Structure 1
Amino acid sequence: MGSVKSKDMSTTQIQQGKKFTLEEVVEFIDLIAEKLNSAIDKVDDVNHKTHVLSVNASIEAARAGTYGRPFGIVATNMSELSEETSKITDNMRKDTKEIINVGNMIKTQSKEFRGNRLTDLALVNIDLIDRNLYERTADVRWWATDSNVIDALTKKNQDACDVASKRLGVILQAYTVYYDLVIADVSGNIVSNGNPEKFPSRGLNVSDSRWFVSAMNTKNSGQFGFESVHRSSLVSNNLCLIYSAAVRENGDPKGQIIGVLGVIFKWESLAQTVIVHTPISEDEKKNTRICIVDDSGLILADSDGKMLRDSLDFDQKTSLLSEKKNHIFIEYCGLNCCIAHALSPGFEGYSTGWHSIIIQKLGTAKKAKLVK
């Protein structure tokens, strides 16, 4: 910003009809103001010398008496011209200040526009995720009442488990957003799954898993269990979310729990798709990091691909995440950045409680990478 090279490039780009951002317009206004002030300073310098020269000419004309009278007339004219020039440069300085004020106003408005736009984009991202994941809660509660699932946990024989596996396989063919569907008994032993060829999880124990424990603690069929983004050994260590529901005796909404159905969701397929398709230009993408984080700042989805391997931490993080929707301009990782935020708004009573973050570089405060 402000180097000779960048100024030359700005002029060339204008001549080529390039479209400019508001920030680039402000930069060019600053450049114009700088050049005007430089030109005015030069005029003032010449005018000062002219004024000194006219004073000296007047003195010499007075000493010469009658013979110096013509020089006195010239000196007077030079003095009047100098005064007129001073008035002109004063007015030019005022006009230049007005140009600078306009630039500052545009700068303020452009920052606010950028912040609001990125915040709106962040909100759209987390809203899309909330809406999609709400469907997962409906899926698991519905399928937990399937008679084949109930039979596998009630009859407890190989045939019933095989039938349930085929039924779950049919569901997987229709709902490609899942890696697998698994049925566990009350002890946490997986008795059947829908994709045994790819994920041979039957016989594994999941009694310590959050999704299993949370489902076992539900009071009725309207509730569900959940485990946040993690890498699961049930699906070859892929990143996933697991939604779960208690399977109840005879499908009774308040019946005794006889096991748990878990649906293993392909997290990256949703989250990374949302992030990749965030509607910003290719030029912006080079300077932008788009994330989904939990309350601690742990990255759950990331345009830099550092899911579960990185956490966001910056000044004012606590206050930023405490609000529903906002943005700040701070130095982050050595760069002047706009950090936009939107809290999960929820959908139909369901909310992930996560945060959508967009970090966009505005300029370099010092040489450093945007990522942590």
Structure 2
Amino acid sequence: MLVDQQRPSQQQQQQQQEGSSSLETVAKLSELLSAKTEAAINQIDHINGEAQVLAINALIEASRAGEAGKAFTVVAEEMSRLSRKIVDTTDRLRKESRGAISELKDIIRMQATNIRGIRLSDLALTNIDLVDRNLYERSCDVRWWAKDSSMVAALVDKTPEALEMASRRLGVILDAYTVYFDLVLCDVEGNVVANGRPHQFRSQGTNQRSSPWFESAMASASGDQFGFQTVHRSPLANNQLAVIFSCCVKENCQGNGKVIGVLGTVFNWEGLAQEIVNKTPLSKEEKATSRVCMVDDRGTVLADTEGRMLEDSIQFAGQSELYAMKKGFIMKKLDDGDLCIGHAVSTGYETYSSGWHSMIIQKLRSSSSPSSSSSPSLA
């Protein structure tokens, strides 16, 4: 089952969560009603069986009594007739009650599935929206700082004093913007000439010409555009998970000026993304059976409550159809239960969009294995 949904308000999300809990309660009551109804019918059958035995015994005794037992024979035969009617009635009641309760269960199950799927996709949308909003600010940061006069002076003068001044300036920025590992300044050849944390990250003297963030910045048309490198283990941050935004530094800080270098901002991706996925508002029971993650179009895991960033790729039947939706969910059958996959694609914020996908993969406990609490997985 594949379902596309629109984004609800926070109040609607709260109502969905409460509705899901209510339906689960109703489902449990329907199970209880089914069990009690079946037990009652079985009890009637048992009592009726005893009545049938009594009727048969009565007929036997009446036949032994001969003429004197004829009147009692009529009573015994009537008891046997009533007993057969009871059998017919209980059979019909069993069939009708099973059908009605089964239909009720299907309706409840469908409603509970819809509410669950909508809620999970809503949470997935909130997660990717938080990422886009944060990364939009990062795209603004690099374009602003690339116009800093100390960056221009360092690349024009190239004196030790100018380069030291640029490093100090980058360090001051980093003291205020702690979400970054480092800020690096390169000349047009890709050589790192200054960075904000030279004692922690020894990137000065390295060449970044072939790095995607440097190449994409150099290919941009103006200082109002930016380059980017997706989630990776960056050597500029001792192989920690990072995304890098970049922007050309231009002579005289003018948009149509000559390109004299590139500024790269090494953002602490794990500090943002893992905080978001790990703090997704799920109950303790849900967290035990859920995997919250973000992936790119190829399914590469970029953020993950299981901690398998860049080490896993999520693929499943119906993935392309689900990814084509802005927001929706899909149900998957497993041997030991079902999976509900809530999904939302990046809708972007202002001028920025990551284009990534946010998912919550939740395992539904089956009636045959109520104690199951393993994390869900997809082949």
TM-score, structure 1 length as denominator? 0.87
* Unmatched runs of 5 consecutive residues or more in structure 1: 1-18
Aligned length: 354
Distance 2:93 2:335 in 1: 44
Residues 177-188 of structure 1: pairs in structure 2 closer than 5 A: 177-188=179-190
Q: CA 1:333–1:38 in 2, change beyond 3 Å: closer, same or farther?
A: closer
Aligned to 1:341: 343
Instruction: Report the more deviating stretch, 61-70 or 133-142.
Output: 61-70
| AA at the equivalent of 1:36 | T
Aligned to 1:370: 376
Aligned to 2:35: 34
TM-score, structure 2 length as denominator? 0.85
Instruction: Report the more deviating stretch, 288-297 or 52-61.
Output: 52-61
| AA at the equivalent of 1:303 | T
Residues 270-309 of structure 1: pairs in structure 2 closer than 5 A: 270-309=272-311
1:213 paired to 2:215 = yes
Q: CA 1:183–1:158 in 2, change beyond 3 Å: closer, same or farther?
A: same
Aligned to 2:135: 133
Aligned to 1:47: 48
| AA at the equivalent of 1:54 | A
| AA at the equivalent of 1:370 | P
* Unmatched runs of 5 consecutive residues or more in structure 2: 1-19
CA positional deviation for 1:59: 7.8
Q: Percent identity?
A: 47
Distance 1:315 1:21 in 2: 31
Aligned to 2:86: 85
Distance 1:335 1:87 in 2: 37
Structure showing greater relative contact order (alpha-carbon pairs closer than 8 Å, 6 or more residues apart): 2
CA positional deviation for 1:41: 3.5
Distance 1:132 1:91 in 2: 61
Asked whether the equivalents of residues 153 and 185 of structure 1 are also in contact (C-alpha less than 8 Å), the reply is: yes
| AA at the equivalent of 2:376 | L
| AA at the equivalent of 1:363 | R
Distance 2:187 2:57 in 1: 108
Aligned to 1:123: 125
Distance 2:337 2:180 in 1: 39
Asked whether the equivalents of residues 340 and 357 of structure 1 are also in contact (C-alpha less than 8 Å), the reply is: yes
Distance 1:169 1:333 in 2: 55
Distance 1:135 1:318 in 2: 30
Aligned to 1:3: none
Distance 2:247 2:79 in 1: 95
Deviations 1:166-194 (A, max 9, x none): 11111111111111111000000001111
1:189 paired to 2:195 = no
Asked whether the equivalents of residues 314 and 332 of structure 1 are also in contact (C-alpha less than 8 Å), the reply is: no
CA positional deviation for 1:78: 1.7
Instruction: Report the more deviating stretch, 67-76 or 305-314.
Output: 67-76
